[in-house]
């Protein structure tokens, strides 16, 4: 079901998904796929503040020590693409990013580095998003991504439309890669979530846009598999993405989705947004290429309501 059709039906029944006052029940999003005896493939949490939801969700996955070991170098990649304040939801929530950095250090990380190849001026994006302050307050370091010299060519051997790409050296040199997108509308791909967020670690985004954007996004995930995907769905830009126009574009979802499976994470977030994952071409391609699973019923999912 296309999102516009979903909204039309929802309005008819008196409920608008993702509105500031209405939360969609988890059973409508994921179903009851829990088996507490087994490790969870995905955790979906709703109803709290960003940093507090993360505290609970990461514990359900075994804690940050499951992903970060003592002495490791960690790179955290939020969406910091736009010169916009947190209320606009164009970028990842700074409180969430700061808390992730804290958890990495508590797990024994030697260094936690944060960057994005921004669309607007990188200094303004880092500062006005609130992410720079949150990262520094937590002991992390902001690294620029605005110069081609930071990027090095890699082969995308399984790619169909994308055969190679220049990737930021932090991704190539760090021990752990944590992907922290914000869920939002996007004019070119319908939605921007975990897979789309990886465009911020490469140099030439224009090539992707000119050569089947959806397939390039899927192709790149065959090369880049983050160790953890943490989707910020606290404030969600519901229209006019990816930059947004005003706070009127934003709905208050108060949610997070966390998984090592980037396809499952984005499938879940697509449902949360009110769209049909089958309508998102890069998701279908990545599923067909074996990057991850769109079939949420095959996964062990924990749902938490705070």
Give the model's pLDDT for residue 119: 97
Question: Residue 19: inside a domain, yes or no?
Answer: no
Q: Is residue 3's pLDDT more than 90?
A: no
Q: Which secondary-structure segment (H or E) carries 151? A: strand 151-155
The three-point CA angle 103-18-131 to 5° equals: 35
Token pair of 84 as six digits = 């916009």
Taking only the tens place, the pLDDT of each residue in 239-265 is 999 999 999 999 999 999 999 999 999
Question: Residue 21: inside a domain, yes or no?
Answer: no
Confidence class for position 38, pLDDT limits 50, 70, 90: confident
Q: Is the dihedral of CA 93, 99, 105, 109 positive or negative?
A: negative
Question: Residue 214: inside a domain, yes or no?
Answer: yes
Q: Are 81 and 119 in contact (CB under 8 A)?
A: yes
Q: State the residue range of the domain holding 257.
A: 3-10+27-305
Q: Are 281 and 214 in contact (CB under 8 A)?
A: yes
Across the range 52-78, mean pLDDT stands at 98
Give the model's pLDDT for residue 26: 45
| 185 CB-contact burial (10 Å; exposed 0-12 / middle 13-18 / buried 19+) | buried
Q: Are 115 and 75 in contact (CB under 8 A)?
A: yes
Taking only the tens place, the pLDDT of each residue in 260-306 is 999 999 999 999 999 999 999 999 999 999 999 999 999 999 999 99
Q: Is residue 33's pLDDT more than 90?
A: no
Q: Is residue 19's pLDDT more than 70?
A: no
Q: How many domains does the chain have?
A: 1
Q: Which residues contact 83 (CB under 8 A, 6 or more apart)?
A: 120, 121, 124, 125, 128, 129
Question: Residue 179: inside a domain, yes or no?
Answer: yes
Question: Residue 132: inside a domain, yes or no?
Answer: yes
Taking only the tens place, the pLDDT of each residue in 105-144 is 999 999 999 999 999 999 999 999 999 999 999 999 999 9
CATH of the domain at 145: 3.40.50
Percentage with pLDDT > 70 across the chain: 88
């Amino acid at each position: 079901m296309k999102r516009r059709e979903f909204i039309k039906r929802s309005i008819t029944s008196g409920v608008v998904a993702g509105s500031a006052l209405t939360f969609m029940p988890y059973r409508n999003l994921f179903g009851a796929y829990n088996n507490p005896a087994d490790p969870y493939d995905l955790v979906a949490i709703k109803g709290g503040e960003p940093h507090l939801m993360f505290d609970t969700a990461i514990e359900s996955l075994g804690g940050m020590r499951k992903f970060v070991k003592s002495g490791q170098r960690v790179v955290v990649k939020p969406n910091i693409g736009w010169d916009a304040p947190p209320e606009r939801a164009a970028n990842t929530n700074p409180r969430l990013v700061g808390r992730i950095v804290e958890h990495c250090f508590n797990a024994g990380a030697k260094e936690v580095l944060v960057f994005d190849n921004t669309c607007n001026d990188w200094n303004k994006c880092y500062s006005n998003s609130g992410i720079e302050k949150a990262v520094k307050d937590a002991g992390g370091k902001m690294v620029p991504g605005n110069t081609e010299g930071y990027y090095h060519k890699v082969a995308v051997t399984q790619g169909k439309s994308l055969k190679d790409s220049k990737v930021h050296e932090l991704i190539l040199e760090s021990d752990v890669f944590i992907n922290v997108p914000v869920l939002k509308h996007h004019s070119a791909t319908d939605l921007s979530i975990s897979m789309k967020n990886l465009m911020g670690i490469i140099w030439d985004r224009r090539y992707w846009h000119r050569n089947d954007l959806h397939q390039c996004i899927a192709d790149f995930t065959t090369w880049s598999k983050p160790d953890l995907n943490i989707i910020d769905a606290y404030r969600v830009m519901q229209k006019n993405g990816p930059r947004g126009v005003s706070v009127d574009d934003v709905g208050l979802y108060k949610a997070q989705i966390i998984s090592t499976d980037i396809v499952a994470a984005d499938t879940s977030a697509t449902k949360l947004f009110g769209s049909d994952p089958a309508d998102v071409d890069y998701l279908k391609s990545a599923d067909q290429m074996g990057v991850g699973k769109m079939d949420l019923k095959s996964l062990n999912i924990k749902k938490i309501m705070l």
